[in-house]
Amino acid sequence: MNYLNKGILVAAVAGILFLIESCSTGPDYIREGAKKYNEKDYSGSINDFNKEIENNSSSDSAYLMKGKAENLLGKFREAVNDFSKSIDLNNTFDALFNRGIAYLSLNENDSAFSDFSSAIQLKPTSDTAYYCRGYVLGLLHKRQEAIADYDKAILINPRYQTAYVNRGNVKSDIEDYDGALEDYSISLDLNPHDISAYFDRGYTLKLLGDNEQAVSDFNKVLEAAPDNKDVYYLRGEARMDLKKYKDAIEDFTSIIKLNHKDGKAYFFRGMSYLKIKNKKQACTDLKRSGELGYVDANAELTKNCKPPKKLKNKR
């Protein structure tokens, strides 16, 4: 038998075996479940994977795919259980990594760290596994180890934009502000539309006293998120430091429009009004701030808004 004929025979036998298997097992629930999963019908896909498990309780793939669907539905405890069954049957990178994600979502960070570490052992070239373990290490306050994992993720994938952002955040936590700024800037070169990176860089610039650049970054954030109260605060404070009090008043006014019971915003707007010599409006704001429970307002009221002394009647 020549090679060509042998190949035809093998193909024919494989086809017969496929037909026999199809007849014996019925519907292909794995394939149907995967199709629904790709169509984002996660509940439907879980039903199919359950049917596959009923027919074949040793299907590690069914447990794995079911766990992935449960993760996406926020059913993290169920996902952990299914990934564990998949791992018992077949200790794969995919199952370990995704169980780590489920543990992370449950705030069980030690278990997440263990799974990401095991996943890295199976696939040491996975930039995402190093990234996720670095994130967990940051949550566990093991910051130098977190930076080392982000370093590895970036070494594997130099264009891993969010790895630069997260590494910058950890560097900021350890007061390596120059290193943090460098990481944020690289991340924005890779993705100029990342609002979180603009926020983080702006915050760091403000800490360093570079208020002009900080305001520029906060402007970018507010273009995309005009209702972000935290950014109005930061930009307002930066503008006060720059002695741009009218601009600061606009920021604190924006906060008050979003929440008319924000005593802190009234306080800072009042202090800004004092700087431009509008004492009447300043005292109105400081009084309102005190009424809303912002304690710093009381001292400023006493200092700047004393009632005029009554003149004694002459006899």
Residue ranges of the domains in the chain? 227-306
Q: How many whole angstroms separate alpha carbon 49 and alpha carbon 69? A: 10
The rounded radius of gyration (Å) of the Cα atoms in the chain is 30
Q: What is the mean pLDDT of residues 118-130?
A: 98
pLDDT greater than 80 at residue 59: yes
Of 3.30.70.270, 1.25.40.10, 2.70.98.60, 3.30.2130.10, the CATH number of 227-306 is: 1.25.40.10
Q: Tokens representing 121?
A: 């052992």
Q: How far is C-alpha 97 from the geometric centre of its chain's CA atoms?
A: 18
Q: How many whole angstroms separate alpha carbon 90 and alpha carbon 83? A: 10
Mean pLDDT of the chain: 91
pTM: 0.84
Confidence of residue 8 (pLDDT cuts 50, 70, 90): very low
Confidence of residue 307 (pLDDT cuts 50, 70, 90): low
Measured over the CA atoms of residue 82, residue 87, residue 89 and residue 90, the dihedral's sign is: positive
Confidence of residue 166 (pLDDT cuts 50, 70, 90): very high
The contacts of residue 264 (CB under 8 Å, 6+ apart) are 233, 289, 294
Query: H or E segment at 32?
Result: helix 29-38
Q: What is the per-residue pLDDT across 255-305, written as a single tens digit (0 to 9) for each?
A: 999 999 999 999 999 999 999 999 999 999 999 999 999 999 999 999 999
Q: What is the per-residue pLDDT across 183-193, written as a single tens digit (0 to 9) for each?
A: 999 999 999 99
Three-state DSSP class for 218?
helix
Three-state DSSP class for 270?
helix
Identity of the amino acid at 76? F
Q: What is the mean pLDDT of residues 195-207?
A: 97
Q: How many whole angstroms separate alpha carbon 199 and alpha carbon 11? A: 59
Q: What is the pLDDT of residue 17?
A: 31
Q: What is the per-residue pLDDT across 72-86, written as a single tens digit (0 to 9) for each?
A: 999 999 999 999 999
- Minimal CA–CA distance to 151: which of 175, 171, 172? 171
**Torsion angle, alpha carbons of 158, 162, 145, 68, to 10:** -110
Identity of the amino acid at 114? S
Q: What is the pLDDT of residue 310?
A: 53
Q: How many whole angstroms separate alpha carbon 253 and alpha carbon 269? A: 7
With beta carbons less than 8 A apart as the criterion, state whether 187 and 158 touch.
no
With beta carbons less than 8 A apart as the criterion, state whether 117 and 133 touch.
yes
